[in-house]
Structure 1
Amino acid sequence: MTLTRKIVRKLPIAGLAAATLTAGLAGTAHAATHGKAPHLGWKLTDTGVQARFRGLAAVDRHTAWAAGSGGTVLRTVDGGRTWAKVAPADAAGLEFRDVEAFDADHAVVLAIGEGDASRVYRTSDGGRTWTTGFTNDDPKAFYDCLTFFDRRHGLAVSDPVDGKFRIISTSDGGRSWKVLPNAGMPAALPGEAAFAASGQCLISRGSRDAWIATGGGEHSRVFHSRDRGRTWTVTNSPLPSGASQGVFGLAFRDARHGVAVGGDYRPGEPSPNAAATTTDAGRTWRLAPRPPAEYRSGVTYFGPLLLAVGPTGSDLSRDNGRTWTRFDTGSFDTVSCTPTTCWASGEKGRIAHLTH
């Protein structure tokens, strides 16, 4: 049984100390002021559901999509004032963990799980109808994350099958998918897997670069492809690794500068080395001198700033991930930004937009 299989039933409730849960569910989160840091905060919206949203895609200041537990997919087109339930009709009980959205009408969602529970759906009419682009037929595969280079070309990653991570690819916007040959994929470590925690264990930047974040093995690692997933290189990261430890989320500002976040997702466990940075596309990584104080599952750029989120709070970096300052204590699993707007989502139906 792979690492993701072991934790998939734990992740929906992991990381929730009672005090955090109580604080996290309270109305609008308030930003703390730390020196000259921006006055940031999260303003919760009323989603009307209790699903846990680990998949999130910000489109613009009006439009966002969220994908979560219990076969739930939501969409807003009015800045979060209202959310519409737009899940595929046959999705009840599926665990959606990632969504990629291109506008108010076009989106692709990934459901995780063993065997045919791993699926990819596509909509071109705002979720009124969906088509199934991919249904996993290999009991050894377990898909974790999804990314798109543009509106047509995308990848999804599965935990290792026969000793290597498996990649599927689409060139028609998610209508159809094919398994890529694994000759260009380095061997996985014993116990190594990706974490389906924030939709950020597989990310892309530009037209060809993609990265995979892992944990569970002897080392946490980052894989990098320069050719849309056909060949990969891999390097160790300095973040801790273990059954509940590793790199959980990645973000890249450009093809060279990026950040990795993670730690130990178990409640109350210390995560002293929760962030690292790279300036060479992931060939080498350096621990952040002042990382977030606790485990973080999601990270993204917002202009020159970086935002990281996790079950115990949100952090801000103004120096490309070297130092971090907490600005919120609410619980979130993932974060997504456009040039003008940021959203965060997590447990108990929590979806919020950034105020600043």
Structure 2
Amino acid sequence: MVPYKEIQSNNTSLPQSTSNLTAVFVGGTNGIGLGALRALTKHTDSPTIYIVGRSQSSLEKLISELKTLNKTGTFIPVHAADLTLVKDASQAANQIAKDAKKIDLLIMSPGYISAGREESSEELDKVTAIRFYSRMRFLVTLAPLLRASSSPRVITVLASGQEGQLWPDDFRLKDHYSLINAGGASSSMTTLFLEEFAKKPGNEKMSFVHIYPGMVGGTGLKITGLGPWLQRLVDWVVVPLMKLFGYTIEEAGERVLFAATSEKFRRVESGEGVGIQGQGVAKGSDGEAGSGVYLVQGDSSVITGGKALKKLREEGVGEKLYQHTMEELERIEK
């Protein structure tokens, strides 16, 4: 566990080291993403921040709030009506790509939960689409701008350490959908794709952090198709417990910012060593220090890949998933 005081110390020192950074927030209009957006706005000097959201009026209201936190910041709204649709993600990403010169941070946290499999017009399960495919669409489209940064970092807030089974002949979960399967599959797909993407030529500087935020109060928990009585049980029992025992949105956001900026999660060349200002570089998902893909927990501790990931790697599922994902993104783009 990383004490909250250490998190705050890292973040309050950012104005001296992160002037004029450019960040993209996908899912930054509520919940943990909003907490991270506020933290970045508060702790940096003259940032340029692209904020992807569903409602233009809500984006404008949010930007007015952010300007009170940082009078030197530049905040750019980017409309995306429905991020369960990869095409909407693509349009938003392309808008950013045409405007920005570089991207230092890409922070993604959009979410959607459904009790049953809902297929979108793009023939993808909506839950997996917003948790994985749309996020990877942003990553792939914005990769050239990330490469233009001296120290690019990609953050996806989902469920590191909760990786589950994958079916290479059914990545889209047409035959294996359940709430549990969708959660485990999205997590595995995220970690494996990031590991494969990190290996590609040109991505040697990029660092990737897959965060499991743990229990966070105040985020709400709406589950489509759950039924009114079960949803009331969630609202009256589960949500209050999350608020009572979980992190606040503010602390969760500060911890996301820590993961996005701490030298602990930078990428190092093989053999470069781990001593950075007295703070060691974390072990990556493969168990190697500084390897570039990090699995971070709600308390900001780091884990390495478990048995499920090891088995999937041994079976070559990462390469199959990467190929499948790129083919799906291309199919939808047509």
Asked if these proteins are the same fold (TM beyond 0.5), I'd say: no
Judging by fraction of residues, say which structure has more helix. 2
- TM-score where L is the length of structure 1: 0.30
Structure with bigger strand share is 1
